[in-house]
Copies of this chain bind each other. A is one copy, B any other.
């Protein structure tokens, strides 16, 4: 019953979380033999796990040379954020058109809970972690576009989380982000798709500009 999934899948998910959490650093090499020593089994499942990681853009593989954890340049990170900005804005527009009334009500309830949590918690830990993601997840699912969901949650999500720019951005201003979230939900509840898209675009744009500032800071810091 616990052995329902294959060894390759187990190793894949373990490695994926390890990479996202930074326990395996960008640029670090993934030797197949080393994975065998660590997780047991043989090289075949390890190879398969590495290939799955490559499919999600978490590692880069070159023939005969091995696999390394992806190490994104600042330009590549900007590219990813640009795409995410566009796709999530799109998701928000579609969500305004396609979410059921019940889903909208649940979303409003979620924000009320967030508001309570921020008040009690000073908005430190809870909101920026599961709360923020939960909000965005629900919007994406509300788009009722499975491919969009797959691209945002499967392909882009891991990399974005890996670099932590999203969370570190919103940690500065949880109450402001909450206000933006509330206005987005208002637009969705009013079925105003254009406005909902616009507000989401601005909301994520704040993260992007914050990211770009951070990029400049870090590059000058490390460059000197």
Contacts and interface: CB of A to CB of B under 8 A. Distances in A.
Contacts of A75: 146
Contacts of A9: 63
Contacts of A80: 147
Q: Is the interface of A mostly helix, strand, loop or mixed?
A: helix
Contacts of A44: 44
B146 A79 contact: yes
Nearest to A149: B79
Nearest to A8: B63
Interface in A78-98: 79-80, 82-83, 86-87, 90, 94
Interface string A24-65: 000000000000000000001001100110110000000100
A215 to B, nearest CB: 15
A76 interface: yes
